[in-house]
């Protein structure tokens, strides 16, 4: 007969070597399947500076809107606004109308961008701009996308550098500015760092908050 354990004796339970190897293999397989869908975005000094640029742009845009019926400069007709240029692709001409609020064009260039930073508005051009503008953003709807890094991919391009974005179109940031991550400015003047997943969620939030379900960006 098999001897019974003595009273009070500890029962030792553990995994065999084979069990451990099986667990490691399963965990490794799971991580390999998840890795393509996860984007780890690490903050850097240039990325923080970029967020600050978008925040300053948001403040300037809101100051302009507060003086013009809560509409952005590209949603207001000339001579005060630049609505006629909204879909022209000439972002520099659009933004020149709010040069007083911006104070300097320096904030319109991302530190990670190879583009040239303009020091004044005299020779300012679209080549000095690192950020897109959200043509359908609203100053009265905080979660609409006001601005963001120009290296967005996956939307449907129309003429004159206007992109139509949707939550189902696979929108993503390219790897040329912030290593496949990016920054967004929102309708309330705030700015934040976002991953690819967060970018798509923000697009979804805008589609749900606006009656036209439209997300259009003018790219520089």
Question: Percentage helix, strand, coil, to 5, in the chain?
Answer: 40, 15, 50
**196 pLDDT more than 70:** yes
Indicate the pLDDT class of residue 2, thresholds 50, 70 and 90: very low
CB 130 within 8 A of CB 92: no
**118 pLDDT more than 90:** yes
CB 132 within 8 A of CB 219: yes
In the 8-state DSSP scheme, what is residue 184? Answer: E
Strand order across the 216-218 sheet = 156-157, 162-164, 216-218, 131-134, 145-149, 182-186, 191-194
- Least Cα distance to 184 among 133, 211, 147, 157 occurs for 147
Looking at residue 36, what is its pLDDT? Answer: 39
Higher local confidence (pLDDT), 171 or 9:
171
Quick: pLDDT tens for 4-13: 444 444 444 4
Instruction: Establish if 81 belongs to a structural domain.
Output: yes
Q: What DSSP string describes 103-129?
A: --GGGGS-TT--SPPPSSSTT--GGG-
Output the average pLDDT for the chain: 84
Average pLDDT for 47-54: 93
Looking at residue 87, what is its pLDDT? Answer: 82
Indicate the pLDDT class of residue 25, thresholds 50, 70 and 90: low
Domain span holding position 78: 44-218
Helix (H) or strand (E) holding 206: helix 196-209
**18 pLDDT more than 80:** no
Indicate the pLDDT class of residue 171, thresholds 50, 70 and 90: very high
Q: Which residues of 186-203 are buried (b: 16+ CB within 10 A; e: fewer)?
A: bbebbbebbbbebbbebb
CB 165 within 8 A of CB 157: no
Instruction: Establish if 21 belongs to a structural domain.
Output: no
For 13, other C-beta atoms within 10 Å of its C-beta total 5
For 4, other C-beta atoms within 10 Å of its C-beta total 7
pTM (global) more than 0.85: no
Instruction: Establish if 108 belongs to a structural domain.
Output: yes
Looking at residue 113, what is its pLDDT? Answer: 95
Quick: pLDDT tens for 79-94: 989 999 988 888 999 9
Distance separating the N- and C-terminal Cα atoms of the chain: 85
Instruction: Establish if 30 belongs to a structural domain.
Output: no
Bridge-based pairing of strands 145-149 and 152-153 is: unpaired
Instruction: Give the number of domains in the chain.
Output: 1
């Amino acid at each position: 007969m098999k001897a019974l354990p003595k009273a009070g004796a500890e029962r030792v339970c553990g995994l065999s070597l084979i069990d451990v190897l099986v667990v490691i293999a399963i965990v490794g397989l799971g991580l390999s399947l998840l890795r393509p869908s996860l984007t780890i975005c690490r903050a850097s000094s240039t990325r923080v500076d970029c967020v600050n640029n978008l925040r300053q742009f948001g403040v300037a845009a809101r100051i302009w809107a507060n003086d013009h019926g809560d509409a952005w400069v590209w949603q207001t007709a000339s001579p005060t606004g630049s609505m006629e240029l909204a879909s022209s692709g000439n972002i520099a001409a659009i933004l020149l109308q709010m040069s007083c609020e911006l104070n300097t064009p320096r904030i319109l260039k991302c530190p990670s961008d190879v583009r040239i930073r303009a020091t004044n508005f005299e020779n300012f051009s679209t080549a000095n701009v690192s950020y897109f503008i959200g043509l359908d953003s609203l100053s009265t709807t905080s979660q609409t996308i006001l601005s963001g890094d120009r290296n967005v991919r996956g939307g449907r391009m129309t003429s004159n550098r206007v992109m139509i974005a949707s939550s189902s179109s696979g929108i993503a940031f390219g790897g040329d500015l912030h290593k496949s991550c990016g920054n967004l400015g929102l309708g309330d003047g705030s700015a934040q760092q976002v991953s690819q997943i967060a970018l798509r969620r923000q697009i979804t939030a805008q589609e749900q908050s606006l009656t036209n379900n439209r997300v259009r960006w003018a790219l520089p």
